[in-house]
Structure 1
Amino acid sequence: MELNAIKDVFDHVTKKQKVSTSTSQEVIEDIVQEIQNAIDSIKACPDSQLGCKSVLSELKRKLQEIAPLSQLEDAQKELNVALSKYLKVLDKSLWPDISKAYRHVEFDTHTINQIIASHFYRQGLFDIGDCFINESGETESDAASMRLLFSEMYQILEAMKGLNLEPALNWVAANSDKLEGNGSDLQLKLHSLQFVEILQNGCKNQALNYARTNFASFSAKHMAEIQKLMTCLLWAGKLDRCPYPEIMTTTNWHTTAEELTRQFCNFLGQSYESPLSVTIAAGIQGLPPLLKFMTLMTAKSQEWQSMKQLPVPVDLDKDFQFHSVFVCPVSKDQSTDENPPMLMTCGHVLCKQTINKMSKNSTKTFKCPYCPCGDIDAMQCRQLHF
């Protein structure tokens, strides 16, 4: 919404700027034309002093009718108003005082430093990661362990950028059992890329020998894919007319590199996305509603510091939704550690505080508000863990 508002105001400024430019150009052209007409009239009768005065008087009258200053001032005034509004929107949207939404939260500095250093290492910025570890006071052993986690992955990905699949193939061969356990067909994808690369270089017999050596073990589960690859042999030298263009597209290299990164991080017990990148991206989405709330709650900022959950709904994209959120259907409260979801014997779920109210703090049985089940004993309700 913020970006849309900025774009709308910017478009308005652009429109006013075009109008101002067009108006200025028309005024200048009208003035030039009138002056040129006056010059032509004077040249037509150069010896007539009375005629020259008459021409100049007529020129003065026409210039007053054009009123260039008035036209230019009006156009510029509208443009200035639009620019002023645009600057206010920018100032409000892009330079807010984000400290209003800050709240003091205790966290482990060591963990934060590891997350930041890990972000640099997974990007291949090893020198920057080492420098950060050194300046943050973390131990060299921490740096060495994190560097080792991602150095091999970075080398494999860099080799793939140069169309060298050997490091990647060696890695998947060494981890084939784990990949199969994860249900990943990464090994076949890499062999397919290598097969196509050989074929595109015009080595039909070499591609056939490569297929015989490396595709046999995948025939049980991936026969259809292998058959398409074998069909490509018939189109050697004219692969641009191959009936399976999706096999030849260069985007396969990118998607395979992403799959390798995902599996590599999975084996290391790391997330595919950098935790630091995810945190910042989620924060950017969640910050505007929090800032708006704090602007309205300026006089009650102390309450914000003591709240245990967000005071306003913050809608994040699905990419940032990592676990289920339960909202009690009766109280409409979101579950918390102190008020967890509880499974009743009938199979329905309510929050603990709702059950306590309905059962008078477990002193009597109660009926489920959503089904005709008999009396429910609060002591038999079990906490659910998402």
Structure 2
Amino acid sequence: MELSTLKDAFDRASKKQKVSSSKVQEVIDQVGREIESAILKLQSVDSDQKSIFIDLRNKLVEISPMSQLEGSQKDLHIGLSKYARILEKHFNPDISKAYRNVDFDSHTVNQIIATHLYRHGLSDLGDFFMHESKEPSVIANAALKLQFLEMYKILDAMRSRNLEPALNWAATHRDQLLQNGSKLELKLQQLQFVEILQKQDKKQALAYVRGHLAPIASIHKVEIQKLMTCLLWAGRFDQSPYADELLSETHWDKIIEELTQQYCSLLGHSYESPLSVAVAAGFQGLPTLLKMASVVMAAKKQEWQEMKQLPMPLDLGREFQFHSSFVCPVLREQGNKENPPMLMPCGHVLSKQSILKLSKSSSRAFKCPYCPLESFVTQCRELHF
């Protein structure tokens, strides 16, 4: 899709609209001035009303406002029509050409939609959807709904600068957070400490460190030492060297995002809603699919429904890559658990099946297809992306 072409067409249409608007205003002002001049003449004592009206009529005929407005509007209409045709050319409104009949399990799809609503805090709408779709009320769904409701209560409290629910949750799941390598509890404690310190209560801040950070002091020794240094800036913490790090709104936003990620992770769910990811990926890949359906498929006279794989690559960007993207340069097959990528001593990478075919025997050396070096199967190491 040529975005520059669309932008140029939009700029031309926008310019015509501005010119047309300016012309309309100019004609209206001109007519208004002639009418105001005639009214002033009529208000004089010895005015000849008949001659004034005749003079006004002649001037309006000379101005010809309708002809000027029609010409301006016609030019604008032509510009807008051209822009509409360019939009239709680049944005095919009939997206049904990119559809493919797939037998989805309606129960699974309904569960995905309901989970999407629950995870976004729309529990009433989720319940209504489950009722309308005639899905059975499963205990697991009820538990999931309550868990996401708890998450949104914690997030709402954090946005109101109330960290107590978040701290309680982090303390309850301390071991799991540490296993994930997360410092979420420490970051929440830091925020609470700073909130107390900003109230110019140094003693209360010190007591908070001693009372609440003791359980994690051995794990985060350096960070806690930094907090103790912050006590020197009590009452003027905004002037401290830690202000940008601990007082900025972006710092709060990052911690809210991390809490959401960890909460979903402990529930066994992804941070992003699967439904949102699927819709975003489909939206990004739709132009390529439409082009393929209208150009490539028409040229090859093939049916979209009969194809087992796409005849052209569909690059959705790294944000949509959730699995290994390694493709063996020999067998032209994508790597998987049964056929993982293997690193040879020479530095080249082939799939496991390719190496086994090249070697024919684990005790026999084989030559790399991309360099003159030889290797043994036992020397190859599996790669993990």
TM range (shorter): 0.7 to 0.9
236-245 vs 11-20, which deviates more?
Answer: 236-245
Give 1:233's aligned residue.
Answer: 231
Instruction: After TM superposition, give the deviation of residue 9 of structure 1 in Å.
Output: 4.0
Give the aligned residue type for 1:249. S
- Residues 306/356 of structure 1: CA separation in 2 closer, same or farther (3 Å cut): farther
- Residues 350/192 of structure 1: CA separation in 2 closer, same or farther (3 Å cut): closer
Deviations 1:249-288 (A, max 9, x none): 2333322121112112212221111111111111110111
Whether the 8 Å contact between 1:35 and 1:59 is mirrored in structure 2 is no
Give 1:180's aligned residue.
Answer: 178
- Residues 103/58 of structure 1: CA separation in 2 closer, same or farther (3 Å cut): closer
Whether the 8 Å contact between 1:119 and 1:274 is mirrored in structure 2 is yes
Give the aligned residue type for 1:285. Q
Quote the Cα distance in structure 2 between the aligned partners of 1:122 and 1:91: 37
Give 2:24's aligned residue.
Answer: 24
Q: Using the aligned pairs only, state the percent identity.
A: 55
Give the aligned residue type for 1:101. A
Whether the 8 Å contact between 1:344 and 1:381 is mirrored in structure 2 is yes
- Residues 330/82 of structure 1: CA separation in 2 closer, same or farther (3 Å cut): farther
Whether the 8 Å contact between 1:328 and 1:341 is mirrored in structure 2 is no
Count of aligned residue pairs for this structure pair: 373
Instruction: After TM superposition, give the deviation of residue 108 of structure 1 in Å.
Output: 3.0
Which of 122, 125, 128 is 1:125 aligned to?
Answer: 122
Give the aligned residue type for 1:291. L
- Residues 175/5 of structure 1: CA separation in 2 closer, same or farther (3 Å cut): farther
What TM-score, normalized by structure 2, do the two folds share?
A: 0.78
Give 2:68's aligned residue.
Answer: 71
- Residues 35/112 of structure 1: CA separation in 2 closer, same or farther (3 Å cut): closer
Whether the 8 Å contact between 1:124 and 1:154 is mirrored in structure 2 is yes
182-191 vs 71-80, which deviates more?
Answer: 71-80
1:1-386 equivalences in 2 (<5 Å): 8-33=8-33, 60=58, 66=63, 68-91=65-88, 96-134=93-131, 135-219=133-217, 222-246=220-244, 247-296=246-295, 297-298=297-298, 303-329=303-329, 333=332, 335=334, 343=342, 348-349=348-349, 368-373=368-373
Quote the Cα distance in structure 2 between the aligned partners of 1:232 and 1:347: 50
Quote the Cα distance in structure 2 between the aligned partners of 1:94 and 1:16: 23
234-243 vs 162-171, which deviates more?
Answer: 234-243
- Residues 73/213 of structure 1: CA separation in 2 closer, same or farther (3 Å cut): same
Give the aligned residue type for 2:179. G
Give the aligned residue type for 2:247. M
248-257 vs 185-194, which deviates more?
Answer: 248-257
Quote the Cα distance in structure 2 between the aligned partners of 1:181 and 1:32: 78
Give the aligned residue type for 2:145. R
Quote the Cα distance in structure 2 between the aligned partners of 1:270 and 1:22: 56
User: Please, which runs of 5 or more residues in structure 2 have no aligned partner?
Assistant: 360-364
Quote the Cα distance in structure 2 between the aligned partners of 1:108 and 1:291: 26
Quote the Cα distance in structure 2 between the aligned partners of 1:311 and 1:367: 33
Whether the 8 Å contact between 1:340 and 1:384 is mirrored in structure 2 is no
Q: How big is the alpha-carbon RMSD for the aligned residues of Structure 1 and Structure 2?
A: 4.2
Give the aligned residue type for 1:207. A
Whether the 8 Å contact between 1:38 and 1:56 is mirrored in structure 2 is no
- Residues 234/37 of structure 1: CA separation in 2 closer, same or farther (3 Å cut): same
Give 1:362's aligned residue.
Answer: none
Whether the 8 Å contact between 1:235 and 1:242 is mirrored in structure 2 is yes
Instruction: After TM superposition, give the deviation of residue 184 of structure 1 in Å.
Output: 0.9
Give the aligned residue type for 2:290. L
Instruction: After TM superposition, give the deviation of residue 176 of structure 1 in Å.
Output: 1.4
- Residues 139/2 of structure 1: CA separation in 2 closer, same or farther (3 Å cut): farther
Give 2:362's aligned residue.
Answer: none
339-348 vs 243-252, which deviates more?
Answer: 339-348
SS at match of 1:313: coil
227-236 vs 101-110, which deviates more?
Answer: 227-236
Quote the Cα distance in structure 1 between the aligned partners of 2:198 and 2:241: 15
Give the aligned residue type for 2:120. Q
Whether the 8 Å contact between 1:366 and 1:375 is mirrored in structure 2 is yes
SS at match of 1:213: helix
37-46 vs 238-247, which deviates more?
Answer: 37-46
Quote the Cα distance in structure 2 between the aligned partners of 1:152 and 1:46: 83
Whether the 8 Å contact between 1:16 and 1:78 is mirrored in structure 2 is yes
Quote the Cα distance in structure 1 between the aligned partners of 2:82 and 2:260: 46
Quote the Cα distance in structure 2 between the aligned partners of 1:58 and 1:143: 78
Deviations 1:264-315 (A, max 9, x none): 2212221111111111111110111101111122476754223333222222
Deviations 1:143-169 (A, max 9, x none): 224324433323322332333222221
Instruction: After TM superposition, give the deviation of residue 192 of structure 1 in Å.
Output: 1.0
